[in-house]
Amino acid sequence: MTSIDRGDFSEIPILDVSSLYGDDEAAIRATAATLRSYLETIGFLYVVGHPIPRADVEAVRDASKRFFALPDEEKLKLKIDKNFRGFLPFAGSTIVTSSVATVSKPNQSESIFFMHEVDENDPRAVAGEPLQGPNQWPDEAQLAGFRATIEHYVEEMSTLARKMVRAIALSLGLPSDNLDRYFEDPTTFLRLLHYPTQPQEEGLFGSAPHTDYGFITLLAQDDVGGLEVKNKAGEWVPAPPIPDSFVMNVGDILARWSNDVFVSTPHRVINRTGRERYSQPFFFDPAMHEMIEALDVCVPAGTEPKYPPVQYGDYLMERIDKNYHYRKKQAAEAAAAKA
């Protein structure tokens, strides 16, 4: 690949990953090689050929619609907590850490976060470690089957994500299980998002231009559209919905881990369709305690890594604390209490 190749795209490619669920080693390696070419040059692709039923994706979307249809006072009973689990009200985040745009207006969306489940009696939760605690769930009497639907989907998506982790390792010439240890206790987020139709206003976005923080994102879209990816020429390339696909993209920690062999590409959401948009990104990241440093295979001989080692939890918390309004409020209240 040359520097001219990177970012030169006018559409998002499609990759059939069915081989990753089989035992044909040659087919798996061929899929991994194609994956590498997409992650090096674009950082985005559609994943098809997975075994996750459309009905399971749609069940989560239906659950999302039912939740966001609740009165605000009911949703606010699950208001996002210190462990980053729960309901984030409309316009609750502004991406001030964006490296691709100066963002001053909050995202035009509301959302609810479900992370890896941590029991309240788990030693990590008892010790108050960052992002370690139980999820907040709607009342079963209000939204029957909601929790079971979400947990089943997270399990399916985690399996797909682990297949992609192994394909990424193979794509770099590493043993397929080389990165597995970093994901023995992964940091996961399922974010259910609701984007109302937004007004025509300069600098206003459903989701402002940004890159994702973590390892990989696997996004299920509805049929409304609005996701766009920025190419080298500065053009915003649509990533329209494709049935039975997930949009996968490189996050910043994977780009850093690969010493920028893989590219974390800016993207945004604008919803001016006149319809409400629902999406369900699943973020699959290393364990919070893992140290991330450039893989040797990605550092050319005679050179130094571009980035120093970083503990993933520290890296993640810095970005969360800056971008989410409630975190800033909590920090200010804590500082005032100490004064």
Instruction: Specify the DSSP class assigned to residue 135.
Output: P
Residue 256 lies in a domain: yes
Question: pLDDT at position 274, please?
Answer: 87
Question: pLDDT at position 122, please?
Answer: 96
Do the beta carbons of residue 69 and residue 59 sit within 8 Å? no
User: How do residues 147-171 score in pLDDT, each as one tens digit?
Assistant: 999 999 999 999 999 999 999 999 9
C-alpha distance from residue 69 to each of 13, 94, 110, 280 (Å): 35, 24, 11, 16
Residue 91 lies in a domain: yes
Question: pLDDT at position 338, please?
Answer: 55
C-alpha 149/C-alpha 153 separation (Å) is 6
User: How do residues 166-211 score in pLDDT, each as one tens digit?
Assistant: 999 999 999 999 999 999 999 999 999 999 887 776 566 777 889 9
Entry pTM: 0.91
C-alpha distance from residue 44 to each of 11, 13, 83, 246 (Å): 10, 8, 29, 10
Question: pLDDT at position 196, please?
Answer: 84
Name residue 238's beta-bridge partners.
228
Chain mean pLDDT for the chain: 91
**Number of C-beta neighbours around residue 20 at 10 A:** 23
With a CB cutoff of 8 Å and minimum separation 6, the contacts of 329 are none
User: How do residues 29-71 score in pLDDT, each as one tens digit?
Assistant: 999 999 999 999 999 999 999 999 999 999 999 999 999 999 9
Residue 2 lies in a domain: no
Count the domains in the chain.
1
Question: pLDDT at position 99, please?
Answer: 53
Q: Structural domain of residue 117, as residue ranges?
A: 14-338
Residue 273 lies in a domain: yes
Q: What angle do CA 154, 229, 277 make, to 5 degrees?
A: 55
User: How do residues 79-105 score in pLDDT, each as one tens digit?
Assistant: 999 999 999 998 665 555 545 555 456
Res. 278 pLDDT band, cuts 50 70 90: very high
Q: Which amino acid is at 9?
A: F
Question: pLDDT at position 94, please?
Answer: 56
Res. 281 pLDDT band, cuts 50 70 90: very high
Residue 131 lies in a domain: yes
Res. 2 pLDDT band, cuts 50 70 90: very low
Residue that is written with structure tokens 């070419």 in the block: 37
C-alpha 64/C-alpha 220 separation (Å) is 12
Mean pLDDT, rounded, for 228-243: 96
Mean pLDDT, rounded, for 297-307: 97
Residue 40 lies in a domain: yes
C-alpha distance from residue 122 to each of 118, 131, 134, 182 (Å): 6, 12, 9, 20
CATH number at residue 28: 2.60.120.330
Res. 264 pLDDT band, cuts 50 70 90: very high
Element (H, E) at 87: strand 86-88
C-alpha distance from residue 165 to each of 54, 182, 215 (Å): 23, 10, 9
Residue 313 corresponds to which tokens in the numbers above?
């939890």
Residue 9 lies in a domain: no
Question: pLDDT at position 37, please?
Answer: 97
Residue 145 lies in a domain: yes
Question: pLDDT at position 108, please?
Answer: 78
Question: pLDDT at position 259, please?
Answer: 98
